[in-house]
Amino acid sequence: MHVQNTDYSQKNYEAIRRPGEQLITTHCCFCGMQCGMHIRVERSETNKVIGVEPRYDFPMNGGRLCPKGVAAYRQADHEERLTQPLIRKNGKLVEASWEEAMDLVVGKIKELQSKYGKDSFGIYSGSSMTNEKCYLVGKFARIGLGTKNIDYNGRYCMSSAATGFNQSVGIDRGSTGPWSDIKFADVLLIAGSNTAECHPLSMPYVWGARDRGAKLIVVDPRETKTALVADLHLDLRPGTDVALVNGLLHVMFREGLVNREFVEKHTNGVEAVEELVKGYTPERVEEITGVRKDKIEAAGILLGKARNSFVLFARGVEQHTSGSDAVSNYVNISLLTGSVGRKGAGFATFTGQGNGQGGREHGQKADQLPGYRKITDPAAREYVASVWGVDEKEIPGPGISAFEMLKSLGGDIKGLLLICSNPMVSAPTIGDVEERLKSLEFFVCMDMFLSESAELADVVLPTTVWLEDNGTTTNVEGRVIRIRGMEPTPGKSKRDWEVICEIAERLGRGQYFRYSSPEDIFNELRVASKGGIADYSGISYEKIERMDGVFWPCPSDDHEGTPRLFEDLKFNFPDGRARLHAVEHKGPNEKTDAEYPLILTTGRVVYHYLSGNQTRRIESLLKLCPDPYLELHPDTARRFGIGNGQMVKVSSRRGFLTVVAKIVKTIRPDTVFVPYHWGKTLGINHLTNPALDPKSRIPEFKVCAVKIEPTNLGDLANG
Amino acid sequence: MAKVLYVDFERCIGCRACILGCEECSGHDHLSRMFVDELNPGETVATSPTPCMHCYTPACAESCPVQAIQVLDGVVLSASHEKCIGCKNCTYACPFGIPLVDESKKLMYKCDLCFDRTSKGVPPMCVSVCPTDTLMFIEEAEAKTRMNKPVQYQWDFGGTVIETRTVIGIPNTETHRYGYNEVEGFDHVE
């Protein structure tokens, strides 16, 4: 075992190997934990996938899996897999040959681009793809299509964390330390994350700390399974994180618990923060957040006195119009106490998508080039152009963010390639998204299932599930790991990277897209990232195998990666000092009022992943959570005359949805909760507010104003 | 002494990975033998898993009219397919409600501690996949005497005391609610 993996949760057992089977050693396709697993495959010509076997020796999860992980393999041999290209004819999607489909796709790209200009064709991609594919898609947009218009669904997921980290410490790696560091904290603060449901395999680390006597503070408007076992549950009103943290900082300053020496030597901006938080007394913060002031006092003191604290947060903090600044405010806690850069001390965001980390590093963001370089930076453009073998002028400038792209469909953007994403479920105000997608002159989608979005496409190209391809992903910690795949791909489906390279070839840009394997792409990515912030240049497939993953930055062949950032207390700014940000509470974009008196917040359940395109098709998961529901407090239910199990119509200014009511004492009476994994008549995103964080461009999924009323089963439509 | 199941109630997150994992054991015909209960729905999100308790004097085996249920090295096995007549005596006899009957095959099925795994020294699937180590597979003596919290393995059913090999770790409800106490929701300020 490599020394970097010493403090993890692997178990000392060997996987069972059965006669007539082979094990494919890979990782789960779902969340950012990227748990190790073996896939059981029958040794035969068809290589039928038959099950899962624990991978006890992988450090992160030691064989443990959540229900999604156990059931993940069931996507492979699924009757709803797309196995043939589909083309819309007379309004219906019908099977076609690859030749016909590709002729149409390439013909339409050429036609639209010559008529309206290069930028009229856009790419909307995703972060559940390998690093190789994410890199390739970014490169294909810039020098295959020559369009500036590319962005990805990570915009809805990780963009506030990224912006917050960048403005606070100058580098956006999801975790400052290896996940094993969590075990060595004295105080854990988990905010806006239902860790137990959304990242279950982090729980051994949380319990690892608790078994050593650590205190757990959870910030959440609901008493989730994570909050249930907390020492302190700060049950805030959604959208008030900034004020809550200001209250904690107020207590820390007042009690003299700020690490003045660290702050003096290693940060800038303390004066403004100290001045601002004076106004955030526990009394005032109780009023804003709804959290009892004695709990704010207690939490501030626990965090201030901790020898080592670890601060963790997720979408509950980030998916707000103030998401980026809320992230920076949580990071302030670590910086003001000097709790960073050593075992047990640091901060992290729980990456939602499988490759949410790697997917935001290598150039599929509107403003970014590989290695986390800025597309506006002349030196970065020059370097990447030299790697790609093009003139710097051929690389377009920055495009627009995901939601703004959706708004431009049919306007500036006439044609769209959608890869690995399902905005018809995941975007806010999806009724409007449907209109926009339908207004496109040409819409091509690559997917392994006919998602709600693919259903609207003019051409659907059948691609592969994760265990049919090779590549790498980067997990929640910043550890680059190997995804291993098998042959064959079902029916006529093809691997995404092969399809993209073929389109490039047909567009006459094939000279830039000739790869023999994902490893070939990775080796180019290594060079392209060299010298960038996310430097992968020293990472090879062989090294990943030998070390069970390599943490970036890894700048040379003899370098073994960087499990923990900031050990030298140098932050990624020219002066080496972290930036403290003084953040005033503004609250959510949409406030409750007499007509819409309740706060709607949305989130996930343990059985489903993102837009549900995969997990809703897996029967064993679907039966555990077949439909969305509305959680509400008994007092709220009484107030609006709603019984448990009754149908309830929930409406915002943008749309409505009819779901079953689930009355629980574990939610604030001013808040209702609906999980978001469904589309069409079951999509809560008909209601959510598309207001964007001006810095990260993340929509405010976590708060909007709604009203509820009892209704009956017949009223299932939505608007 | 052999290894047994140890269940640390307070760590359960109700994810049911154990139920799905159970289906994945090669000897289990994709029929899960694991249970997860919501303790008090609406009041709390607390849940707890119920595996077979592997009783010292298993009522299921004792009630079986055809001696189809064997005990091997302390593991109360699933009924022998050759012998089982699907009569459900075992399902009625078990005080924990563990044995089930596959109606299509008229065969009882229950936890056999993943015999094909544990016989090779590898933990059962429920333990292997459990994301929180709520379920553990440890030496019986360790589970019964050396845990960091009170444990229970004797159960009084109206005067009949049953001793089990499976051991339950009892949450400390004085320091934490863990959802086991009746409460008026949590303390929020409106």
Average pLDDT by consecutive 10-residue portion of chain A (719 residues)?
96 96 97 98 91 98 98 97 98 98 98 98 97 98 98 94 98 98 98 97 96 96 94 96 98 98 98 98 98 97 98 98 98 98 98 95 96 97 98 98 95 98 95 95 98 98 97 98 95 98 98 98 98 98 98 98 98 98 98 98 97 97 97 98 96 96 96 97 96 96 98 58
Least Cα separation, residue B41 to chain A (angstroms):
8
Say how far apart CA A60 and CA A180 lie, in whole Å: 8
B179 lies in some domain: no
Residue B174 has pLDDT above 80, yes or no: no
Say how far apart CA A705 and CA B158 lie, in whole Å: 53
All residues of chain B having their beta carbon less than 8 Å from the beta carbon of residue A607 are 16
All residues of chain A having their beta carbon less than 8 Å from the beta carbon of residue B21 are 65, 70
Q: Chain B residue with minimal CA distance to A228?
A: B178
ipTM above 0.85, yes or no: yes
All residues of chain B having their beta carbon less than 8 Å from the beta carbon of residue A223 are 44-45, 185-186
B187 lies in some domain: no
B129 and A225: CB-CB below 8 Å? no
Our measurement of the distance from residue A709's CA atom to the centroid of its chain's CA atoms, rounded to an integer in Å, reads: 33
Say how far apart CA A621 and CA A68 lie, in whole Å: 7
pLDDT-based confidence at B176, cuts 50/70/90? low
Least Cα separation, residue B66 to chain A (angstroms):
33
- The β-bridge partners of A656 are A651
All residues of chain A having their beta carbon less than 8 Å from the beta carbon of residue B44 are 223, 228, 665-666
B35 lies in some domain: yes
A:B CB pairs within 8 Å = 141
B79 lies in some domain: yes
Q: Chain B residue with minimal CA distance to A216?
A: B176
A291 and B189: CB-CB below 8 Å? yes
**What's the one-letter identity of residue B13?**
I
* CATH 3.40.228.10 segments of chain A: 175-349
Task: Kindly give the pairing relationship between strand B71-72 and strand B47-50.
Answer: unpaired
Say how far apart CA A55 and CA B156 lie, in whole Å: 39
pLDDT of residue B189: 66
Q: What is the mean pLDDT of residues B67-71?
A: 95
CB atoms within 10 A of CB A714: 8
A70 and B129: CB-CB below 8 Å? yes
B53 lies in some domain: yes
Our measurement of the distance from residue A225's CA atom to the centroid of its chain's CA atoms, rounded to an integer in Å, reads: 21
A16 and B117: CB-CB below 8 Å? yes
B178 and A290: CB-CB below 8 Å? no
A67 and B46: CB-CB below 8 Å? no
Least Cα separation, residue B32 to chain A (angstroms):
11
Read off the tokens for A105.
């796709």
All residues of chain A having their beta carbon less than 8 Å from the beta carbon of residue B128 are 13, 54, 56, 63-64
pLDDT of residue B81: 92
B132 and A669: CB-CB below 8 Å? no
- B92-112 residue pLDDT tens: 999 999 999 999 999 999 999
B20 lies in some domain: yes
Our measurement of the distance from residue A407's CA atom to the centroid of its chain's CA atoms, rounded to an integer in Å, reads: 21
**Contact status, residue A592 vs residue A705, Cβ threshold 8 Å:** yes
**Contact status, residue A151 vs residue A273, Cβ threshold 8 Å:** no
Domain limits for position B108: 3-169
Residue B184 has pLDDT above 50, yes or no: no
Alpha helices in A48-96 (DSSP H): 67-71
pLDDT of residue A431: 86
Q: Chain B residue with minimal CA distance to A234?
A: B188
Q: Of A14, A70, A644, which is closest to B24 when you measure between CB atoms?
A: A70
CATH code, B83:
3.30.70.20
pLDDT-based confidence at B186, cuts 50/70/90? low
* CATH 2.20.25 segments of chain A: 3-75
B15 and A292: CB-CB below 8 Å? no
A278: left (phi over 0), alpha (psi -120 to 50) or beta: alpha
What does the longest C-alpha to C-alpha distance in chain A come to?
72
**Contact status, residue A364 vs residue A152, Cβ threshold 8 Å:** yes
Q: Which fold does the domain A3-75 belong to in CATH?
A: N-terminal domain of TfIIb (2.20.25)
* Number of domains, chain B: 1
pLDDT of residue A713: 65
Q: Find, among A73, A69, A99, the residue nearest to A84 by Cα.
A: A99
pLDDT-based confidence at B172, cuts 50/70/90? confident
Q: Note the CATH architecture for domain A175-349.
A: 3-Layer(aba) Sandwich (3.40)
Domain A598-710: state its class. mainly beta
Least Cα separation, residue B64 to chain A (angstroms):
31
Residue B24 has pLDDT above 70, yes or no: yes
pTM over 0.90: yes
Interior/surface letters A222-241, b for 16+ CB within 10 angstroms, e for the rest: bbbbbbbbbbbbbbbbbbbb
